[in-house]
Amino acid sequence: MLVTATSVMGLHLEDKMKKIALAAAFAAAATAGTAGTMEEPIMEAPVIVEETAASSSAAGIWVPLVLLAVVAAVVLAD
């Protein structure tokens, strides 16, 4: 039997073409399978963050000042 280069290359190219066609068929099937549905998308409600009123730093000084004034008044009264 005489084997020529064209007959060997022809069989090799046929195998490659079959593999390429099979890969294309799988790719097309996978794309159609994951395409999604016609169902309406579920939209999540936006998160609303409410800011609280910030306390001023001056309000934090009044308690110690009043306490100091009371202690001073008690000391001076004695």
pLDDT tens, residue by residue, 34-52: 556 677 778 888 888 887 7
Q: What pLDDT, on a 0 to 100 scale, did the predictor assign at position 26?
A: 85
Does residue 21 lie within any of the structural domains? Answer: yes
Average pLDDT over residues 6-19: 70
The whole-angstrom separation of Cα 57 and Cα 4 is 95
Name the percent of the chain lying above pLDDT 90. Answer: 13
Total tally of structural domains belonging to the chain: 1
Amino acid at residue number 32 = A
Q: What is the pLDDT of residues 48-69, one digit of tens each?
A: 888 776 656 666 788 889 999 9
pLDDT for 63: 86
Range of the domain at 27: 1-35
Helix (H) or strand (E) holding 18: helix 5-33
Is residue 75 assigned to a domain?
A: no
Determine if the pTM surpasses 0.85. no
For residue 73, the model assigns a pLDDT of 93
In a domain, 47, yes or no: no
